[in-house]
Amino acid sequence: LNIQFIEGMVNYVKGTDGVKRHPEEDYKSAKYPEWLPTWDPTETFPAQPENKGFVDRGLFADPTYSNLFSNDSKFERIDLTPNFGTEVRSVQLSQLNNSAKDELALLLAERGVVVFRNQDLQDKGLEFNKQFGEYFGPLHIHSFSGAPEKYPQFHIVHRSPDDKVNPKKVTSLHTDVNWEVQTPGVTIFAILEGPSTGGDTLFVDSQTVYERLSPRFKKLLEGLSAVHSNVIASNVNGNGFLRTPPAANSHPLVRIHPVTQKKAIYFSYKFTEELEGLDREESELILGFLRQRILAQPDLHLRARWELGTVVLWDNRRCLHTPILDFEGSARHCYRITTLAETPVEKFEDLEDHVKELSLKLQERLNISN
Ligand SMILES: [Fe+2]
């Protein structure tokens, strides 16, 4: 017996196996039916433990990018702003060898966002994509978003033409799933179906936002930790379905990147609740100032435009992002692979010893190549 129920504007169907899926006709009309979101109540996982020993692949990279941008390929590299965001053409992600993937991780640490055009990654299937992501770190499992069956590691974004979208949510700038203990680094987002215009992703360079603060203000932020939580989101969006228990964790408000040794503001407009050890009003004063600073510096913003075949990668440690919700009436179907990096730390000395060692060696190679 199938039980029909409505979530948003879309009808989902609960099968006899308890798995919630799109109705049959959606599987017939979808361009990528195996990527439609499903919710399997038997897929539950314990709270994510701290996983010590993470080493960023960017630490092993050749800083001359001799594999990713080899002399015999016809690649084009277009920097989207002077310090933040790069578009790459004529490089196929699915063909990269491990050395090129290491250089991609370095490029992401340095540029924050990299847009690839005309990709075939989305045609390579679930298992290939999973393994592609796993190269960069363990994959995050989202507590309540839809995922392809048997692949809870993918976060599916799916809107039908009759789904309501609320453009007022445009300022929900965030860094993904920052309530976890070990938070995301390299993040891969690919489009399967989408509107011819609209649905851009807005990115903000949270590293330069930090660097532009005065030395006295940086001093004020030193040692502050922010509490990030998905407890409310789990209750509102989970609808009773949760793969992992709701989580709240605090992380330094300023975190250092192990690859570049540069610091960035680390918080979300939506999932960051307060700064520890301050009165609510004091906490709001600082977070409110940072929210305002971020929006007031458009030279640190970029909009990634989506076309079929586009894959955008970003490093969740050094930028914020938000979807632009201006595509009501169109279908949009995307997937995200979220790889977990180190547990955030503020100071270089707080990184794990072997990471510090590799990071210093990379800096030597960077100095030689510059
Ligand atoms: Fe996001």
Nearest to 59 by CA among 101, 113, 95: 101
Q: Which two tokens stand for residue 27?
A: 């599987």
Cα(311) to centroid(ligand 1), Å: 14
* pTM, two decimal places: 0.95
Indicate whether 134 pLDDT > 50.
yes
**What proportion of the chain, given as a percentage, has pLDDT over 70?**
96
Output phi, psi for 69, to 5 deg: -120, 70
Q: 370 C-alpha vs ligand 1 centroid, how far in Å?
A: 34
The residue ranges of DSSP E strands in the chain, in sequence order, are 3-7, 10-14, 20-21, 76-79, 86-89, 113-116, 154-159, 184-193, 201-205, 225-229, 248-252, 254-256, 263-265, 272-275, 301-304, 311-315, 319-323, 332-340
When mean pLDDT is compared across 29-43, 167-181, 298-312, the lowest value belongs to 167-181
pLDDT at 2 over 80: no
The pLDDT assigned to 237 comes to 75
Q: Are 68 and 100 in contact (CB under 8 A)?
A: yes
Alpha-carbon distance 316 to 245, whole Å? 22
pLDDT at 157 over 80: yes
CA of 275 to the centre of ligand 1 (A): 22
Question: What is Dmax (Cα atoms) for the chain?
Answer: 67
Cα 51 to ligand 1 centroid, rounded to whole Å: 22
Measured in Å, residue 83 CA sits from the centre of ligand 1 at 21
Ligand 1 centre and the CA of 121: distance in Å? 20
Stretch 33-50: mean pLDDT: 91
Give the distance (Å) from ligand 1 centre to CA of residue 321: 6
Contact by Cβ (8 Å): 127, 316 = no
Contact 77, 105 (CB under 8 A): no
State in Å: Cα 323 to ligand 1 middle.
Answer: 7
In 3D space, the residue among 322, 346, 329 whose CA is nearest the CA of residue 170 turns out to be 322
Cα 173 to Cα 188: distance, rounded to the nearest angstrom: 17
Model pLDDT, residue 53: 87
Report which of 338, 344, 319 is spatially closest to residue 147, judged by C-alpha positions.
338
Strand partners, 3: 14
215 C-alpha to ligand 1 centroid (Å): 30
Mean pLDDT of 275-286: 98
The Å distance, Cα 157 to ligand 1 centre, comes to 10
Q: How far is the CA of 368 from the centre of ligand 1 (A)?
A: 36
Q: How far is the CA of 144 from the centre of ligand 1 (A)?
A: 14
Distance 72 CA to ligand 1 centre (A): 36
Strand-pairing partners, residue 13, are: 4, 21
Cα–Cα distance measured from residue 183 to residue 111, given in angstroms and rounded to the nearest whole number: 19
Mean pLDDT (the chain, rounded): 93
pLDDT greater than 50 at residue 5: no
Buried b vs exposed e over 253-280: b needs ≥16 C-beta within 10 Å?
bbbbbbbbebbbbbbbbbbbbbbeeeee
| Tokens of residue 331, six digits | 């279908």
Ligand 1 centre to CA of 268 (Å) is 10
